Chains A and B, each alone.
Chain A
Amino acid sequence: MTTINTARPVTRPVGAWRDQLPTLIRVYGIILTLVLLVAVVGIGNPAFLSGQNIFNMLSQWAPAGIMAVGMTFVILTGGFDLSVASGYSLCAVVAAYVGQSYPPSIAFAAAIAVGLLFGLANGLLVAVVRINPFITTVGSGFVINGVALVMTKNAAFLVDDPDFGTLGAGRWHGIPYSGMLLIVFLLVFGFILARTVYGEAIYSVGGNYEASRLSGIRVRTVVASTYVLLGGCIGLAGSIIASQLSSAQANLDPGIIFDVLTIVVVGGTSLSGGVGAMWRTVVGLGIIATISNGFVLLDVSPYYQSIIKGAIIVAALALDGGLTRLVRAK
């Protein structure tokens, strides 16, 4: 047997900080954005960093954050779900409807079951029937929204049971249950993504569907499962908001889809699939929550809020590509 000495390009010792900088910025630049935002808002109004305020933010962002966890999985496989807002309203409506006559636990379980069900429908359509996820979920979004309208006749369902409010508004030593759920979801599903066979399959399928299929990975199951997971997250998020409001109606918050997508994408998870991580969703959530809360605390005129919010989001994404190129060009 012979040994072979293949020629390789000469490598300079890697360690010079300048060589590492582009990579560091690409990977961690988004954290810098979050730190800057927190510093600006925190200096502008020290109340921002108070425990009270942080707990309130956790509770307020729990529904969108929990849905962003599921959305991270879907986007990592190269998928997309635009039916989130409709599903969110429907699940809230189901929770409130069932909560009117049954104990809260049954109401929330029903909402989650409904979420899993339409998640499964989306998943099967995308993964098995192979319809483009964009179109599939626009269509299913209409259907889901229609079901909510039929159920409510566009009226609000009110729940009198005081226990119904515990999930969304209850607190333990000042810490909201909903916020705890959010943190648990981020940790558990972050771990699943980073350290399990299933997580590895998510990245592989999103990175290259065909190569994964040819390597024996059950690609359709993996893709479909992410929509089911997102459906479950939507069910829980709908339960939380219904509980917080003690009521629900169709068209509860049509704009929440943009919050959810922005949280995932601003963090740096790629819409083309295969690249991203749960910590990025945490950072994205931090950025969006800080901006929104900052407007209130710094007393920004509502007329300017969406301009500033949009500009910060675009800037955060530009940091990803633009700054990297700038540093590389020297």
Chain B
Amino acid sequence: MVESPIGSKRVSESTLAIRVRNVSKSFPGVQALRKVSFVLETGEVHGLVGANGAGKSTFIRMLSGASTPDTGDIEVQGRPISFEDPRAQRNNGIAAIYQELTIIPEMSAVSNVFLGEVPSRWFVVDRSGMEKRFRELAQWMGLKIEPQTIARTLSVANQQMLEIMRAVHAEHDVIIMDEPTAPLGPFERSRLYELIGRLKENNVSIIFISHDLDEVLRLCDRVSVMRDGQLIETRPSASWSKDTLVKAMLGDVQIVPGRKRERTEVKELLRVRNLSLPGKVAGISFELGEGEVLGIAGLVGAGRTEVLRCVAGLEPLSEGSMAIGGQDVPWPPSVGAAIARGIALAPEDRKREGLVLSRSAISNLLLADIGSVARGPFVSPSARRATATMLARQIGFNPDRLDTDALHLSGGNQQKLVIGKWLHRRPRVLLLDEPTRGIDLGAKQEIFQTIRSLSDQGMGVILVSSDLEEVVEHADRVLVMARGKQIATLDGHEASVERILNLIFAVENRPAMAS
């Protein structure tokens, strides 16, 4: 065990790291938080769960000092919190790791860690001191990152680690992590769990937000549930179960049960043979039948996304042979060609690749098919609205919110738009890349509902998800990938999370893990 670089000052007089009393906050038109009271004990890992829009983000922004409550007060280690500026917040001893990382991509790892408080001697940056401290922290955290590595070249997981390192370096007493595991693969997750355990041993208190309830129950000492801007309940993890958590989070949402169809003879929609993309994936072959859901399982980086991108015509360097409805067609060289064949992709990165955030939900729903609501070159406003309303109903999007800019919608609603924008074109094959990433349970169910009804109408769906349970639950067949290769294709009844993981790990052969 490496000696802790965070000193021994962590013997606090108070056992309460944070105490929040009756905090309320409203924004124009929305009561975001209502009389929230909350206690974070020293050295505790405290889970915070709730649907999108439940108020979690507002709440943690307030704890980190980024937003001021309308009423109520917040004490940190017995002292009232300061809401002045980022510099003063640092003195509150609370660090927040948001989903959108604050890493500066073009700067080195070490510069990112010392951002805003570069150590210096006589106004000259103390480089060797910084690197020494960096190595010390990296060793303690179990990271193998060279100080001068440019942050952009690091994986998301390691960039996140740099942010945590920033908090560890500053000897913060409280670290808030907002869905830290969402972009991580299994190995990276377990590395994070380990680190959280180590921080806890050093009396750092952690607020852990996640949509993965199993993870929350396993990792946290206590769990609080938020709903509609209120803190519904806080209990020790042992007295929660996944079911009681879901019930508390959502009130009364019903879960779409998985479907296992026996493999009957279905009409073939799409056949792909020997798909390859140099350096990324090779030798992928599969077919997709009418009304079938094909899942692709694998770790992050196994090449799942690349397969979808190749089929959707986004990778000009890809090769392979394709048949649509039994007819051989040339490999799609462009997005337009893939769309013309009825292949549509809902990409993983909703904000960057899926939506035009500055435009309304209506505009986004018609992004791929605006021509259908136009007479000649002229858009008909009434046809536009009618079509968008129809699409909104189909995907479970509230039609009253059609005029809202996509920017102001929750992740779940954004995802609905990314799928919805294709539906009017009636694609034969819909490719979904991580459609449920970072969205709440209620919205997830609505997405699966949509997938279900689309496949019932005969559409073929390819589903990529890091959530293996989801893949096993909702796919008729599962293609398992590891290191860019196809290692198995399982029928629905033979697919299980355990089986898939065994297959993957047999190939991945436990890649070198940071100890």
Q: Which residues of A contact B (CB under 8 A)?
A: 1-12, 14, 18-20, 22-23, 195-201, 203-204, 207-208, 210-218, 274-275, 328
Contact = CB atoms under 8 A, between A and B. Distances in A.
A9 B377 contact: no
B335 A214 contact: yes
B75 to A, nearest CB: 24
A34 B367 CA distance: 34
A215 B28 CA distance: 33
Contacts of A12: 26, 29-31
Nearest to A209: B356
Contacts of B377: 196-198
22 contacts: A5-B251, A6-B443, A7-B53, A7-B54, A7-B228, A9-B31, A10-B30, A10-B228, A14-B29, A197-B377, A200-B366, A203-B363, A204-B367, A208-B352, A211-B353, A214-B354, A215-B421, A216-B336, A216-B339, A274-B356, A275-B358, A328-B28
Contacts of A210: 352-353
Contacts of B371: 197
Given A4-B396, A4-B445, A195-B381, A204 B359 contact: yes
Contacts of B421: 215
B385 to A, nearest CB: 13
Interface string B311-345: 01010000000000000000000011001000001
Contacts of B180: none
Given A2-B256, A195-B381, A217-B367, A207 B229 contact: no
A194 to B, nearest CB: 9
A8 B251 CA distance: 11
A196 B378 contact: yes
Interface of B: 26, 28-32, 51, 53-55, 227-229, 249-254, 256, 312, 314, 335-336, 339, 345, 347, 352-359, 363, 366-368, 370-371, 374, 377-379, 381, 396, 412, 421, 440, 442-443, 445-446, 449
A196 B421 CA distance: 18
B123 to A, nearest CB: 34
A11 B26 CA distance: 10
B351 to A, nearest CB: 8
A328 B357 CA distance: 22
Contacts of A199: 379
A10 B363 CA distance: 26
Contact of A204 (B32, B229, B363): B363
Which 8 residue pairs of A and B lie closest in terms of their CB atoms, listed nearest first? A207-B356, A6-B442, A215-B368, A2-B254, A19-B28, A207-B358, A208-B356, A274-B358
Contacts of A2: 254, 256, 449
A4 B335 contact: no
B378 A212 contact: no
Contacts of B251: 5, 7
Most chain A Cβ neighbours within 10 Å, of B29, B368, B446: B29
Nearest to B336: A216
A8 B336 CA distance: 37
Contacts of B32: 9
A271 B30 CA distance: 30
A208 B347 contact: no
Nearest to B381: A195
Contacts of B354: 211, 214
A146 B231 CA distance: 69
A2 B421 CA distance: 24
A211 B355 contact: yes
Nearest to B230: A10
A173 B75 CA distance: 75
A200 B381 CA distance: 12
A208 B418 CA distance: 13
A212 B358 CA distance: 13
Contact of B446 (A4, A216, A217): A4
B83 to A, nearest CB: 12
Contact of B253 (A5, A213, A218, A274): A5
Nearest to B314: A214
Given A7-B51, A7-B442, A274-B358, 5 more contacts: A5-B251, A197-B371, A197-B378, A218-B336, A274-B356
Contacts of B345: 214
A233 to B, nearest CB: 19
A203 B379 contact: no
Nearest to B352: A210
A121 B253 CA distance: 57
